[in-house]
Structure 1
Amino acid sequence: MNTFTPQQTEASQNLSQSLAVIAGAGTGKTSVLVSRMLNIVEEYKSLEILLAITFTEKAALEMKERLKKSLPPQLALHVETAHIGTFHAFCLKTLKQFGHLIHLSPNAMQVLAEEAVFFLTQKIIKETFKQLILQKNKHAHFLAEKIGIKASTSLLTELLQNRWHAQTHLSKLKPDEEQYEVLHAAHQVFLLCEHELDVYYSTHACIDFQGLELKTLELFEQRPEVPQYFQNKMKHILVDEFQDTNDVQNLLIKHLYQPKKNKLFIVGDPRQSIYRFRGANVHCFTEMLHLIENTGGKSIVLQENFRSKKGILDFVNHCSQTLEDSLEKENVLQDKNTRGLKSHSQLEYDDDVLLLHYPVAEKETVDQKRTHEAYAMANYILSLVQKKQYLYSDIALLFQASTKTYLYQKIFKEHGVPFLANNISQDISENTAFHDILSLLKFAHDREDETALVALLRSPFIGLSDENIFSLSLQAPLKKSAFQNEKANEILSSITLLSKHCSASELLHALFFRTGYKIFSEIISNNGLGVSPLNTLISLISTFEKNHRASIKDCILFLEQNKERKKKNNSLDPYKKNAVHIMTVHSSKGLEYPVVILPELFRAPQAHTLSWCFSRQKGIAVKTKKSKNPLSPLEGNTAFTQLCDFEKEALQEESLRLLYVALTRAKQKLVFLVADESKTRKGSIWLPLIQKALLEVKSSVFKPNEENERELIFSEPEIQTFTRSNVEGKIHSQSHKKQTLSISQLETYVRCPQEYYLKYILKLPGTVLFAKKASHLPADIKGSIIHATLENLNTRDKKEIYTLLEKQCYAHHLLPSQNILFELHSTLTPFLNHPYFEQITEGKKEFSFIWDIDSAYLRGKVDWVKPLGDALEIVDFKTDRIESGTCAEHAKHYHLQMMCYALAIEEVSKQKVNQVSLFYFNTGELISTSLTEQMKQSTKTELRNIVDKINSFTYSCQGLSLPCESASCTCPYHINKLCSHDRSKKGNHDLSNTLRSSPAS
């Protein structure tokens, strides 16, 4: 943006008045804010007279960077110490400077993390409430009698999380109110719990974020000279994203603002207030705007959008009419001409707003519908990228919540669509290991928890099939019959015994050692989406235990609450990889993308199920027992119903604001996914609004038919008749810890123990430092692309093959030029012309396994397992550059690998493998070997010998015939002169002989 609009100019240059700026999405809010700050600094020649408050630390850092670049050097030096930061940073600094005035030690300022505060709050409530019951405290007894212990503790948790609002409402109770007695009892117990929390903070010299604000407010109210100090010093106060402030922050600004002494500048957009769950009150903006206008200031509306195309803005304006009506009603928008967003560019548009239909069958579940959506999206995204219209990184999927994004990620993974889940998929609570461990801990805590028992029996800790579990349940109650299974009895008995003496982390480590679960989890990641977060999870539990002396029950509570709280997403930095962005709308705040896709339009808000209702604006109401019978149900009165209705309406309004934020992230294309079905899911807020707007605004509709179905919708893959055995990937219980070795590791050891030592023990890089230049693709990249393409290849059609290759190039972060695509297609051609290609759809490709050979676990992946009469054949594809006529000799190098594959597949599939074959793309030759039982037994003996040597740390090469003695050696350690075998031949000591006795080496 080179020049400002008249409204932007006034907002940045009018320093004589306080201003409230209503800045619509994409209207250059940040530029205006920084420009105003620069004008202030230019006028006063100082940064000391300025206080700028941002919503996030990231925003504060960006603001400082902009100022540094624009200010003269002598002023830029002072930016880091300027009063620019978040509310919490301002409060912390203020309390350290003036906290002694309210007897607050400056050392008592260790700010606790939100998760720690949440758990601490609940622990204090439960312990305090328990003690009050034991001491026969009348208020605690009355509260428990009227609403129950569980409802009491959850209500008190909510009140302590909103201490200022709770005290404000509860202190105004009147004896004639219908629920006075029960709310008065809640108030008294709340005060006792709050006292215990304050004692903990005082004893441990710490504070939470809520406490920072409340103590600062207390300081301002009790010692008016402190806000007067700031009023005199800060000539200009600027607050960004004011629509996201809470009531206490609003009061703090009122204390700092004195119209006769300083100027206040707030900027934000009430239509983008989406943090109500964190305490934000959209009405704070309206209240402060009117205060500014009533004290000589004015409001300015920024409407001109510099981000989105006209068609998108037309659509946004239709969808946001309810929000605009609300702002006009509250006198925020005082002129009808200031409603909505206006396009900076008046260019004609084409397909700015797109409706993408996808088929669903009758009576499908919501998750099945999500799967259909994911296929449709994957296909559409691939078509955009393949047509060179957009990069993957230009595209963002914005979800209302993160709970089901893993379903979409799985489909994207299958179809080669690269994605970044922006901390969603990385969330440990979405991982299988999280649920396995939670089930184990729940059973350890409560042996009567049958749900936890079933989950534990099915988990890799024990590994029973559903059929086994069902069979056990027929014999007797499962909590008894499970112990009749030998394997289950061993693990369950261990858990029962250990849980009496061990902490949660100690119990888990013991079970990992006994079952091999940790090895399993590190190899098999959830949905194939990356490295298992097991270590992160164990570290989290261990740290939590250490800091809070937590029991197993405490850890269960902590994990469950951590999972729930992770659903609330923090703002995230956009990644700079060429991959589709998958995130929540909350995470996308402040970001923009050329293409925005909105899935899950059918999502409906959750119904209120609690027996109490708390509203920061209106107060508290509860359901109570109408009789003294402890089994009588809880019933709500009129006040409860009205308060629930108010909160429901407030949440619906926030959902509309969330939609506004989602729509305004799009720059060039806005895509909606809608199922071809007659019914709209009841309760959906977004879908009816979007469908209505689509009828009124120019948009395009994609609906699959027989001709274009391949182009628009991915057909879901058929299930192969060759299925993986239920023992695949399962690690059997062992009483000792075993290594997990890949087939590649075994091959490396057989080729050269010294190379194995350098690569896998010392973990030295295997990059050739003085490699010759090559005009073709790197062998490892080419091999990876070819193998990934073969996994989905079922046609000889050149155009479709090019599409598959292009997709894999992007997945490997490689720009698919015509030369690269030609080289890759040329590599595939010999196989396309080979008779084996006719069977390409048979069997299973990219088959992963883990095989227990007693002394170790072997893992690997077979390129192709195909039927061969009544038996199986293993086919491995080789992209090695081999001269014609030498393949048979070269194939001998892979004898161990192929035999291992054969034995492993026999073990996990329970079918004979009669033949192994190597296909060389370079020559088009197929080298096949028929297998005999003698060959298999010989290989098993050889494997045991190799593993025994590895386990005994034998890495010496003395007396062996090695590849490095050949002029054609390609070992990177030999080429880079890192191999100690080369040095030992010159008389130097063999380092590995010295170290081999110590595994720590």
Structure 2
Amino acid sequence: MAHFIGSDPHTDNWGEDYVIEKCVEYLDDSCIIYRNREVFGTQFDVCILIPDQGIAVIEVKAWRPQTIQRVENGDRIVIRTSSGGEEGASPMKQARGYVFSLRNRIRQKTGKTPFVFPLVCFPQLTAAEYQNKHLASVCEPETTLLKEDFANKAALYRKINLAMRNGQRSLSYCNPLDKQLMLQVRQLFESELDLSSLDEDKKEEMVRAVPLQRDTIYSLFYFFQKGEHPSQEQIRQIVQYYLDGTKITAVVRDRALMEQLVQAIAGALTQQGLTAWGENLKLCLEEEKTEKISSQSEYRIFNCLIGLADDGLSGDIPSFCVADGKTEGEEENRRLHEIGQHSAFNWEQYQIEHAEASKNILIRAGAGTGKTYTMISRIGFLCRTQSCNVQEMANRIVMITFTNDAANQMKEKIKQYFNNFYLLTGDVNYLQFVGLIDNMRISTIHSYAKYLISLLGMELGYGAEVHVTSGEYIRKQIVEEKLDQYLEEKIRQHGDNYTAKLGQPVYAIQNNILEFINHLHNQSVDVQNVDASSFGELDGQPGLDGTKELHQLFASLVPDVEKAYSAQLLKENQIHLSTMMSVLKRCIQNPDNVERLRKMQTGTPQFMFVDEFQDTDDVQIETLKSIAQLLQYKLFVVGDIKQCIYRFRGAKEKAFDQLHIEETTDQWLTFSLTKNFRTDIGLLELFDKSFSQWGITEGEKDPLLVYDPQEDKLVGTRSFNEDCPGSKFYKAIHVSEERYLMGSLFEEVKRQIRRIECEEQNGRTLSRKEKEITILVRENWQADAIRQEAKRRKLPFEVITNTGGDLYRTEPALDMLTLANALLHYDEADYLYTLVASNFIGGGASKAYLYHLRQKQKGGWRQRNKVTDTDQAKALQRLIDGKWGDQELSWNKVVRSLRIQPVMQVMRTIYSSLKPWVSYGGENQWKQDYYRQNVDLLFEQLMTACNLDVLTINSLADILLSNIRSCKNVDSRNPTYNPEENPIVVRSITVHKAKGLEYGSVILPYCWNAINRPKNANLHISTSLEDGHYRIGYQIRTVEKQTYQNSFFDMVTEAEERQREEMRILYVAMTRAIRSFSWLIVDNKNTVSWQSMIWEGEV
């Protein structure tokens, strides 16, 4: 129970009495509650001090539903008074006012600023009444306590958690509410509290943060043989373990026992006010009927699996229990393995999750085998079994992902995971861990590299606040300058006809040099450390004029340009995004930095998770290995060589060999995941016929796909096509000629739509993903061609594409330019009116009103000058000031802050306060998420491309305008789903963009292109590192279509590598399918291609 500090918690104010009573009952005894205390002449209703978290200020309004009349102007609630009149109020504005007063008071008295956040409480309103009264525009649901939030402990904790997450933007600027600050804050309200007279033990007793639960078991596995049922007391004990946060896995032989366990778990959740939401938990205060499982063989909810073993399981296995994965010898391991083969229990995931923390772990995870779930479960195991507090545990985990989106998704999934624990147990430590996840080191390898360079780069001349740029303008200037100097010198030596010998115009050579450098950076080559010998000799090719001179030019200028460019960036304390791994490698190889990293060792186990390991290149792998060794990280590496499709970025299918596990087998544990949770069982069996054929080794050649049916075959766990002939869900579509392809493609799409509609009409419920029909292609232009052809034919469906480059054409980008222009022209009515009309304000000033102001001032509409314009501007500024969510803000204050604060910080403040995504999306959450995600992307792009130290509002406006006018090629972001709709969706995207995703139906239209020769490109690059020296092979095609190459480039090897890469891309494309796969075959194309590689037989 929480402690209430005051004379009497019961007064004549029912609302405040009720809130205090429930908070005292549900909150932990480390929390302190105050009521009606004066702060700078204002008096809050209720204030709660939560150790290590923050301070909640609650404005209580015990209004009944009939008292609330309406919401006015979106920011005021009009209520009926006891006298029958009306009055308006904005509870959230009141709460924020108390927050600012309290925060300032604490800062004034202690010199520190803790996290203080507002809450509004309507204890007599239900969630339905809150929605019906449209109160969300005045009081956001995340920061509003309603009647349901006081139903039980978990509900109250959940809402406080949401409110804290809603205000986490300010956490980076706040001091933690630690023991010392907690006592100082208490002293503000408890004048009799004398800290000087208390010893440390007494202080610790007065401010006690709840320790992590160490007395609970992390996981329990139960097996119950037929006829060996647990007693009612044992079932009650299992349920209690589950409610305490223990992971429960139970495999039974008897359906009646399965149903009994399911009813016990589901009933306990209902009593807690919880229900299953997919495999997560959510609050549900209305009793829900437990789903019938009479025809199911498993029941899954968060942290719990109850499975029914099939008849193939041996009857000799006795009932047994395993705690925390600690088995009793090989016999018990054998039993678990057999149970995993005959039930939903995943023995491989179980081993990985519970593996000893002192080992490095390598996981070969096939497509759809739940690698993300496995990684998160492993984090959960480590957090519960390592002896440290949540802050320390968060600091001991590093996770490297392949993309920013993957990093963000991983953070959200980890948050959801620990939020589920919080809902289940009510333990505030899980809530605290959720608050720390945003600060965990979960990022792309380049973001992690920047962090390390900021620590270690001083030895190379970089400052602590090193900036990353992705622009090419300076490099282009250096290329032009160096090329001019080179040509002048050569003309001086060899005469005016030298340039003619090169066989290419100067502009083409400039482009070749830039393309050369970009290719090398994609493979993490440290270009400034290569020399002319790295380019070898020109392959003897008589008849090609100027090839020797052009070869010498590349060998000389490519490293020379990069050295000059790097030196220029170093002066500005910048690093180009493409060179980060090379710079980091040099940092780590520096002897002083090696010593510095060794001193950073904590002496406690630390963990580095690396996702999509197959997509890392050799330099990245060596760098991560060195960091792990120097900082004593235990590696957790997850990947699948069969899905290595980024060869153009330096990824190789032998990535796992770079770990050299065979040399340190005592330090590694290796596992494989083959149980597939995505694709239909029958479809996987058909896929295996193709995969097995590709995996055959012919002579000394490597197989087209690294695939061993005994080890790599995906084992299906889901069935979507029962009693359905194979030709319905695995279909080859033949067309006689290429020109008929589009017609046949669209007929197949229509067939898939009819199938989905038919199944739904027959009562089958299909998920959003099952209703997605995706046309996978290799190139963006192919997706665009399909979309345009579908539009031209006026088909009854739209083909959605994501071919990229649309960010600076979206409304978030246009709004950001509007804001930048308004800040730049802060007192000009034209720009302010545009801002008011945008999503930031959402309108509110008519042109007629502004015309009225001008006419009133000067007596006539024809006369316009600065005076009248200023009056209009002031009127618009007053309108803007009425929209700030932060009472301390005003338009003039924001404009003045541009003189003393970084531009991007001011912009962030404006976005946080005005929330333009609310105006843009209205009640459509998907549209709000779309707007917010692309605002975040715009900030990321600008912070990467600009030097923030010298960025001004003028230059920001110029950059935005330039990017919008030039339609800079950056992909916008789309939320993963629209929760309000579940339509049939038809989309067309590239296989690379589809990686990691899944779709109900997959169609491959372009399958005849030859894959056994290099791609049709002007430049091919190959690199290798031998004895610390780069060997750079290249083949180049001139503007006259002449082709030549150097001695390090092997055309045969390149062709073989291309074919193997294409087979891996095809593997990825096929394994995206959930329930249906089809492909088009053009009969008059006889090339070695995808269509010749996919198995087509009787199904």
Q: TM-score, normalized by length of structure 1? A: 0.49
